[in-house]
Amino acid sequence: MDTRHAVRARGISKGFGDVVALDGVDLDVTQGQIHGLVGPNGAGKTTLLGLLLGLAVADGGRLEVLGAPVGREFAAPDGVAGFVDGPGLYPSLTARQNLAALARLRGRRERTADIDDVLGQVGLTAVADDKARGFSLGMRQRLGLAAALLTRPRLLVLDEPSNGLDPAGKRHVHGVLHRLAADGTSVVVSSHRMDDLEALCSEVTILATGRVVFSGPLAKLAAESRELDYRVRTSDPRAARRLAADTAGVRLVEDGDPLVVRALVPALDELVARLVTSGVAVRELAPAVSPLEAAFLELTEHQEADG
């Protein structure tokens, strides 16, 4: 029994008829970590989340959740909460009534103060007595998160939690998840939004055609990726263009303001140093495509081509 990991999976397989959803998947989620799950449609993400929530059982392999082996029965392991494909809510009930009803289904009778507390955490206090049928997608996502928080989970499993959220709502939810992780709760987040995952996660697992093509820290993923395109905005575009052309390992992709150059990190560092030495101010330096997105596209396209 491994108590260092909230999730430890080895060789997990799952099929639906002739369709192989998961094919020998390994996964480690450290306690107190926000772990991202990434993959194209049909990669097996939803199936894997369902296994963690007890909504399905694996055909083969070993799965431990919160230090305990997961058996062959359909049941959420103790201490696990979350949702897949959006939270299930009662549209005719208010936000507060939904939480009370969901608590009763789990055999709990939560205090009003506890319900109000989780509604406050997700920013729904002002609509606590409004019926869920009038909620936007983002509000329903936040109410689903509140329902999960009500159980005080040690492992939180979320499928696209930022769906429908405006920038303020997304920042609010990110803050909730970071605080949970800081307090020791482990979080597994599946999302198609690379910017969300880069803002939230310390580690990611990338799935393609039911197999793991990468699992580890984001920094390692960026280091293992190939050359990236970077936007470089400076105080003197003409001088920057000249220096970029003269720096080994740097290729000019787009000539304008900003410049777009293609380089590995060491060559990019050399270009920045030369710009500063030449008195050219660097006003913006950012990947044109994030390291996670670039690696995701490369790894998944390669896997699908091999398949």
What lies within 8 Å, CB to CB, of 239 at 6+ separation is 275, 278, 280
pLDDT at 271: 95
The overall average pLDDT reported for the chain is: 87
The predicted model gives 91-114 an average pLDDT of 83
CA distance 217 to 197: 12
Q: Under DSSP, is residue 238 helix (H, G, I), strand (E, B) or coil?
A: helix
The predicted model scores a pTM of: 0.79
- Closest residue by Cα to residue 146 from 136, 158, 164, 134: 158
- What pLDDT digit, counting tens, does each position of 205-242 carry? 999 889 998 898 887 776 555 678 899 999 999 999 99
User: Taking 80 as the threshold, does the pLDDT of residue 185 lie above it?
Assistant: yes
Out of 68-82, 151-165, 191-205, 239-253, which region has the weakest mean confidence (pLDDT)? Answer: 68-82
User: Taking 90 as the threshold, does the pLDDT of residue 69 lie above it?
Assistant: no
Q: Which residues share a beta bridge with 8? A: 28, 64
The predicted model gives 111-120 an average pLDDT of 87
Query: C-alpha distances in angstroms, 223 versus 202, 215, 220?
Result: 14, 13, 5
CA distance 120 to 106: 22
| Secondary structure element (H or E) that encloses residue 243, with its range | helix 237-245
Note the residue count of the chain: 307
What domains, with CATH codes, occur in the chain?
5-222 (3.40.50.300), 225-292 (3.30.70.250)
- Closest residue by Cα to residue 267 from 249, 242, 282, 254: 249
Token pair recorded at residue 301: 């396209």
CA distance 273 to 265: 12
Helix and strand numbers, DSSP H then E, in the chain: 10, 14
User: Taking 60 as the threshold, does the pLDDT of residue 1 lie above it?
Assistant: no
pLDDT at 20: 92
Residue 194: band (very low, low, confident or very high) from pLDDT cuts 50, 70, 90: confident
User: Taking 80 as the threshold, does the pLDDT of residue 106 lie above it?
Assistant: no
Residue 2 sits at φ, ψ, to 5 deg, of -105, 115
Out of 33-37, 163-167, 275-279, which region has the weakest mean confidence (pLDDT)? Answer: 163-167
pLDDT at 303: 53
pLDDT at 107: 65
The predicted model gives 131-160 an average pLDDT of 91
DSSP string, 36-86: EEE--TTSSHHHHHHHHTTSS--SEEEEEETTEE--SS--PPTTEEEESSS
